[in-house]
Amino acid sequence: MSEANIVIATPHAAKYAAQLLKHWSHRNPDIAAGPQWTSMTFGATTYIVESRADALVARITAADDAALGAAKGAFQEHIDRFAFRETPALVWNWR
């Protein structure tokens, strides 16, 4: 299993998390949710997204490094698209 984590500073975390869930829900992931977090699982890849007042926090787990790279790319592409009005642009520092 491979894993990556990120904390993205933004005051719009709840909005982006909701957009991501709505956008990806048509792909029929297994979904679990709480008041401030959502977990979406597509096969062997799981996205856990937490919205805080000042940050969007994500943890992605995947079967291997290749799948993790693809999952990180999909997540980043979608959040960047939702956040196109953010200035400065979102900073991506995966751990």
pLDDT tens track of the chain, all 95 residues?
Answer: 999 999 999 999 999 999 999 999 988 899 999 999 999 999 999 999 999 999 999 999 999 999 999 999 999 999 999 999 887 788 899 99
Instruction: With respect to residue 18, please indicate whether it lies within any of the assigned structural domains.
Output: no
User: Domain range holding 49?
Assistant: 1-8+28-63
In the chain, how many domains are there?
Answer: 1
Instruction: With respect to residue 57, please indicate whether it lies within any of the assigned structural domains.
Output: yes
Instruction: With respect to residue 50, please indicate whether it lies within any of the assigned structural domains.
Output: yes
Instruction: With respect to residue 21, please indicate whether it lies within any of the assigned structural domains.
Output: no
| Inter-residue contact 18 to 37 (CB < 8 Å) | no
Compute the distance between CA of residue 75 and CA of residue 7 in angstroms, rounded to an integer. Answer: 13
Letter string b/e over residues 14-24, b meaning 16 or more CB atoms within 10 A of that residue's CB? eebbebbbeeb
Instruction: With respect to residue 39, please indicate whether it lies within any of the assigned structural domains.
Output: yes
